[in-house]
């Protein structure tokens, strides 16, 4: 990550000081350890914030104009807070505009700002670079405008920005953990109540490692929406069959599923089985971590991958290959695809002393079959969005 002073220098070259409040802020990407495609079913997830992040510098302006510079892509946009509408040309700016739109819709007053940001979260890799951009924008605008927006409210506001302005029907997980992640902890989120609990993840013997397949998540959007629809069909079915309040697949037990599965269309039954069993796996995973049982946790990750591959069908050849190569290694406890699927990354849990051998073997094995050299990131749970102290 570029040195902060250097970033300020570039900022100051671009903008004359408005004499108004300024500051530096950051928000991380995330990797989900377990609980995939459960957030929009009002279920459970267990992500961590990662060491890769976006840093944004900003200064308030006296008018309603926002001027943003993306240092990585050397791209600039200007827009007014009075006429926010999605841009077809500068689609990246929609994440920022969407957040400002939602802040204003929540009736917080905003003034314009000069902003500059830089990211080291790989794009399109399923590590939530978009959520990080939303969250860092929300934090920057909130702090510059002296607004008190609590982290959970901030996460929900950013999710709405993505749903309403960017047009992606994502759940709450990514924005939530980017806001609330903490060093050495996983975040156990109940996506119905929006309550969370920090679960320690700091045994020095174990490490989380991410493998980037470098396959961009091309199909992700349309298939994501399709899965949401299929889950809705399953929910409607159970609503009709069971004589109690059912709001989402979260409300169905495994026994109920087993009793009725034969009456569901085959594909819908498999989609439901993934979500229902995944919710159990997250809860079992939390128990395992509480007891320091990392190998039990790893086993649940392996089961999760199988379920995502066979029942939810959101994996792809390259992700399966990365998981297979990982599971052939010694000292690996668990491996699975992570995020929406159809490309992006796998998340692996292994003994720390084995990292170097693991990296080398995965790189060689994956390159030999696909011709692609995967990127590998070692990442203990990192902290969520924060103000960066100056000087």
Residues that bind ligand GLA (CB under 6 A): 36-37, 39-40, 170-171, 173-174, 339-340
Give dist(CA 258, CA 120) in Å, integer: 45
Shortest distance, CB of residue 99 to ligand GLA, whole angstroms?
A: 15
Shortest distance, CB of residue 174 to ligand GLA, whole angstroms?
A: 5
What are 299's two structure tokens?
Answer: 């086993």
Shortest distance, CB of residue 224 to ligand GLA, whole angstroms?
A: 7
**Mapping DSSP to helix (H, G, I), strand (E, B) and coil, where does residue 315 land?**
coil
Residue nearer to ligand GLA on the CB measure, 115 or 347: 347
Give dist(CA 230, CA 215) in Å, integer: 25
Burial of 73 (0-12, 13-18, 19+ CB in 10 A): exposed
Closest CA to 104 of 78, 67, 66: 66
Shortest distance, CB of residue 69 to ligand GLA, whole angstroms?
A: 26
Residue nearer to ligand GLA on the CB measure, 39 or 70: 39
356 is catalytic: no
Residue nearer to ligand GLA on the CB measure, 61 or 227: 227
Q: Among the options 174, 195, 311, 356, which is catalytic?
A: 174
Element (H, E) at 119: strand 113-119
Shortest distance, CB of residue 31 to ligand GLA, whole angstroms?
A: 10
**Mapping DSSP to helix (H, G, I), strand (E, B) and coil, where does residue 344 land?**
coil
**Under 8 Å CB-to-CB from 105, ≥6 apart: which residues?**
none
Burial of 128 (0-12, 13-18, 19+ CB in 10 A): buried
Residue nearer to ligand GLA on the CB measure, 170 or 272: 170
Shortest distance, CB of residue 282 to ligand GLA, whole angstroms?
A: 11
Give dist(CA 226, CA 149) in Å, integer: 33
DSSP annotation of 355: H
Residue nearer to ligand GLA on the CB measure, 7 or 173: 173
Residue nearer to ligand GLA on the CB measure, 55 or 170: 170
Shortest distance, CB of residue 338 to ligand GLA, whole angstroms?
A: 8
DSSP conformation letters of 201-250? ---TTEEEEEEE-----TTHHHHHHHHHHHHHHHHHHHHHHSSS---SGG
Instruction: Tally Cβ neighbours within 10 Å of residue 282.
Output: 24
Q: Alpha carbon 375 to chain centroid distance?
A: 18
Residue nearer to ligand GLA on the CB measure, 48 or 115: 48
Instruction: Tally Cβ neighbours within 10 Å of residue 323.
Output: 26
What are 276's two structure tokens?
Answer: 């229902």
* Active site (catalytic) residues: 174
């Amino acid at each position: 990550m570029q040195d902060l002073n250097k970033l300020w220098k570039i900022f100051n070259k671009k903008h004359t000081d408005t004499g108004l409040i300024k500051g530096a802020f950051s928000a991380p990407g995330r990797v989900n350890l377990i609980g995939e495609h459960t957030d929009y079913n009002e279920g459970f997830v267990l992500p961590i914030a990662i060491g890769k992040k976006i840093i944004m510098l900003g200064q308030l302006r006296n008018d309603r104009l926002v001027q943003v510079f993306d240092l990585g892509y050397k791209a600039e946009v200007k827009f007014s807070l009075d006429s926010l509408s999605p841009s077809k040309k500068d689609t990246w700016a929609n994440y920022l505009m969407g957040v400002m739109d939602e802040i204003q819709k929540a009736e917080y007053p905003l003034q314009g700002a000069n902003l500059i940001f830089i990211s080291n979260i790989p794009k399109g890799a399923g590590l939530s670079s978009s959520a990080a951009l939303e969250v860092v924008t929300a934090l920057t605008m909130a702090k510059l405008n002296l607004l008190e927006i609590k982290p959970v409210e901030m996460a929900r506001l950013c999710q709405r920005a993505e749903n309403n302005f960017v047009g992606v029907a994502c759940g709450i997980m990514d924005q939530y953990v980017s806001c609330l992640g903490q060093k050495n902890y996983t975040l156990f989120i109940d996506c119905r109540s929006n309550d969370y609990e920090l679960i320690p993840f700091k045994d020095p013997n174990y490490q989380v490692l991410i493998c980037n397949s470098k396959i961009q998540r091309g199909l992700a959007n349309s298939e994501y929406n399709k899965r949401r629809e299929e889950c809705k069909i399953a929910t409607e079915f159970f609503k009709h069959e069971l004589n109690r309040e059912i709001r989402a697949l979260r409300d169905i037990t495994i026994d109920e599923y087993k009793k009725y599965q034969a009456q569901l269309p085959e594909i819908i039954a498999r989609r439901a089985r993934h979500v229902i069993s995944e919710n159990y796996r997250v809860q079992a995973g939390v128990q395992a971590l509480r007891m320091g049982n990392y190998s039990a946790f790893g086993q649940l990750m392996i089961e999760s991958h199988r379920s995502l591959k066979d029942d939810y069908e959101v994996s792809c050849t390259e992700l399966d290959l990365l998981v297979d190569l990982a599971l052939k290694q010694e000292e690996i406890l668990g491996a699975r695809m992570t995020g929406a699927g159809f490309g992006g990354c796998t998340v692996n849990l292994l003994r720390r002393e084995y990292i170097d051998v693991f990296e080398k073997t995965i790189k060689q094995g994956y390159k030999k079959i696909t011709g692609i050299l995967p990127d590998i990131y070692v990442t203990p749970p990192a902290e969520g969005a924060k103000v960066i102290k100056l000087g």
